[in-house]
Amino acid sequence: MNKTRTKSMDSKNLLKFLISSALLLSAASAAGICSTAVSIHGYKCQEFQVTTDDGYILSVQRIPTGRDGGGRPPVLLQHGVLVDGMTWLLNSPEQSLAMILADNGFDVWISNTRGTRFSRGHLNLDPSDPEYWNWTWDDLVIHDLPSVIELVFRQTGQKIHYIGHSLGTLIALASFSEGKQIEKVRSAVLLSPIAYLSHMNTALGVVASKAFVGEITTIFGLAEFNPNGEPVANFLKALCAGSGIDCYDLLTAVTGINCCLNASTVELFLKNEPQSTSTKNMVHLAQTVRDGVLSKYDYGNAVFNLEHYGESRPPIYDLTKIPHDLPLFLSYGGQDALSDLKDVATLLDDLKLHDIDKLHVQYVKDFAHADFIMGITAKDVVYNQILAFFNNLHS
């Protein structure tokens, strides 16, 4: 009697477990980018996952058509550091680049790099494991970018138009300089391009780049750099207090004074961002600021560099080797504290031998770093130019 009763209770518990699991999975799905930021506006949206060759499971969204249909080539949107794919979707559909592209018939794909909230899976590691965070943007060049481009290419059978912002431009430039992904890319749009960072003048960035020396890894370990977590929050507070920087407006302290942000968009941004990255990645970016060159991660001494690269110094990414016939559109701002005018000039000097009809450069005097993805005037000032650039390629 007792055995029968126990079996009956186990079955009920199993049923409860299955129902609760289904509800949890449903809730997790409902919290994805498609359902929270795309489908609600009447667009079709598909969620994909792709696994990199080093085991990271990345979230990718697809908006295959606009509200008026589609049929045009795929466009991949790649966000910057400390944010995720949501940054392309914070404004209204009429002002968000992802929806504008979809409404103009493009097949839009949105990438989310490793460590951000929807891309925290791994075949063997957990985000609580420090080894999960043992990577820099070199690894985004080597693993993440090829995996996502291959996914889009496999699904569509077409070359992509690439659009990157901030760090999304850096990993593309580095990849192209090594001749990678070129055969699958139609063109590249680089918004707030960062390659050289030695003239960066964002108040917090300058102070942080000096602080992000090797010793910082002793404080955090080679682990997660989560701006919303207590250790990093305390670190940033100490940086701000010690340097006299007003970090109440963290967005301005990091990006410069943005001209054209809607208050409600900033509020939505702060609800969704910032996202985690690896401490090692922040150290690598700081090396780029301090050293004035674009190179692979410096392990700090000749022995470790020899072990990783076969050279005592980390190899340089030579941007002059980017194929001269790759169509490029660069747009940069006069108020951008991260993508400084002098550093953009250095990048443009690397591109001076680019085919003249393949390089399009736009300077927006009033724009700072975030204006390019969230500015309410970005459609008229920048996005329409991107559409014209794409249309000319297809004419």
Which one of the listed residues 166, 187, 276, 278 is annotated catalytic? 166
Distance CA 176, CA 120 (A): 26
Cβ contact 116:87 at 8 Å: no
Distance CA 298, CA 311 (A): 11
Residue owning tokens 């070199």: 138
Cβ contact 271:37 at 8 Å: no
Which one of the listed residues 161, 165, 354, 369 is annotated catalytic? 369
Eight-class DSSP state of 314:
P
For the question of residue 336 being annotated catalytic, the response is yes
Lookup: tokens for 74 = 């795929």
Please, is 254 exposed, middle or buried when counting C-beta atoms within 10 Å of its C-beta (0-12, 13-18, 19+)? buried
Output phi, psi for 251, to 5 deg.
-60, -45
Distance CA 65, CA 104 (A): 9
Cβ count within 10 A of residue 359 = 17
Which one of the listed residues 298, 336, 340, 343 is annotated catalytic? 336
Cβ count within 10 A of residue 26 = 10
For the question of residue 369 being annotated catalytic, the response is yes
Eight-class DSSP state of 66:
B
Please, is 208 exposed, middle or buried when counting C-beta atoms within 10 Å of its C-beta (0-12, 13-18, 19+)? buried
Cβ contact 237:227 at 8 Å: no
Cβ contact 97:77 at 8 Å: yes
Cβ contact 127:81 at 8 Å: no
Cβ contact 324:355 at 8 Å: yes
Cβ contact 280:134 at 8 Å: yes
Q: CA nearest 81: which of 289, 221, 267?
A: 289
46: part of which helix (H) or strand (E)?
A: strand 46-51
Lookup: tokens for 154 = 């496999």
The whole-angstrom distance between residue 94's C-alpha and the CA centroid of its chain comes to 22
For the annotated catalytic residues, the residue numbers are: 166, 336, 369
